[in-house]
Amino acid sequence: MTHLWVRAEQRPNEDRVGLTPDGAKALIHAGLRVTVEESRVRAIGIDGYRDAGCEIAPENSWPNAPRDAIIFGLKELPEDGTPLPHRHIMFGHAFKGQHSGRALLERFKAGGGTLYDLEYLVDETGRRVAAFGYWAGFAGAAVTLKAWAAQQHGKLCGPVGAYKNKDALLSELRSELDATNTPRPTAIVIGALGRVGTGASDLMEAMGATVTKWDMAETASGGPFPEILDHNLFINCILAGPQTPVFVPRDALSAGRKLTAIGDVACDPDSDYNPVPVYDKATSWDAPALRVAENPVLDVMAIDNLPSMLPLESSIDYAGQLLPSLLTLTDLTTGVWGRAEATFRTHMKDI
């Protein structure tokens, strides 16, 4: 029997989950065994999973799970260097030149396990079957607007946290923008036709900002893109890759510009292909904005778990997208799982 083990997230400020109780019930009815770990922070309570028929395990007990269990989480595992003998479903951040990714793959090599990277679960056309993109864009644009609002008071953006729902976020943000007594800023969103860009654009428009929407057609020239510097805000929604242009080069730090805040929602600062190379480290909930220039100021927002600011809505959305693929876990050799394993094996050749 295929055994799916949903682990508790161990990363701070990570309250999301990739399976709802209703989804767990569907898996059990399809013949899968489902274990869900207890969690002190998960946005969906454990009672719903228990009522759905799941087995309940202690928080963070997955290292002792049966060897044939498939461990399912979202964000990174603790970086303790231990070998990984299980099959894992998660965002590994290991296939795009990330410097921390090699250490993760070395752990899989040492343990003999397999990584089914959620970012690489794709259909026959190469499109991802599930993504948190919309809510990443929505929350990322919100924090970038918060950074801009703080600048109007001569300050750096303060800490952010999770919200009960999007209406609570919108209400707070609208009050902060109104308190600047300044017209709403202009923004340019690159990747505007995708999930991330749609979320970012929706948030900006909900707040009354003027939004310029670019996608592949507008960036096909490969740059440079001086138009970006003519906007107050830039939201990058394009994942780093060998063909990704540089949108804001380092010489923009000393250039004349209106741009004062960048929201790098894609957030690949340690990638060799970082399209926003004016910064080199992610920001955090405690310190959301990194100041990279003065006179005029330029702040970068690069939080890498943005959807967890709206954990309930983003979890329900993502879990609904992913469930059809989880229902095919009984055959890992074909479909999305076969393709994901092939990607893993390709990258393991260099380890």
CB 228 within 8 A of CB 234: yes
Per-residue confidence (pLDDT) for residue 179, from 0 to 100:
98
Told to judge if 75 belongs to the known catalytic residues of this protein, a careful annotator would answer yes
Q: Distances from the Cα of 200 to the Cαs of 134, 149, 266, in angstroms?
A: 7, 17, 12
How far apart are alpha carbons 16 and 40 in whole angstroms? 12
**79-94 residue pLDDT tens:** 999 999 999 999 998 8
How far apart are alpha carbons 288 and 266 in whole angstroms? 15
Q: Which residue type occupies 206?
A: A
Per-residue confidence (pLDDT) for residue 329, from 0 to 100:
98
What's the first-to-final CA gap in the chain, in angstroms?
Answer: 32
From 298, 308, 304, select the one nearest 282 (Cα to Cα).
304
For 299, list phi and psi in degrees, rounded to 5. Answer: -110, 145
Per-residue confidence (pLDDT) for residue 312, from 0 to 100:
92
Per-residue confidence (pLDDT) for residue 62, from 0 to 100:
98
Per-residue confidence (pLDDT) for residue 304, from 0 to 100:
87
Q: Distances from the Cα of 247 to the Cαs of 63, 148, 222, 224, 351, in angstroms?
A: 42, 19, 9, 7, 31
DSSP string for residues in 91-147:
----SSS-TTHHHHHHHHHHHT-EEEEGGG-B-TTS-BS---HHHHHHHHHHHHHHH
Per-residue confidence (pLDDT) for residue 86, from 0 to 100:
98
Told to judge if 155 belongs to the known catalytic residues of this protein, a careful annotator would answer no
Question: Which candidate in 75, 86, 88, 231 is catalytic?
Answer: 75
The residues of the chain scoring below 70 in pLDDT are none
How far apart are alpha carbons 70 and 62 in whole angstroms? 10
From 224, 294, 289, select the one nearest 262 (Cα to Cα).
289
Question: Which candidate in 86, 93, 213, 347 is catalytic?
Answer: 93
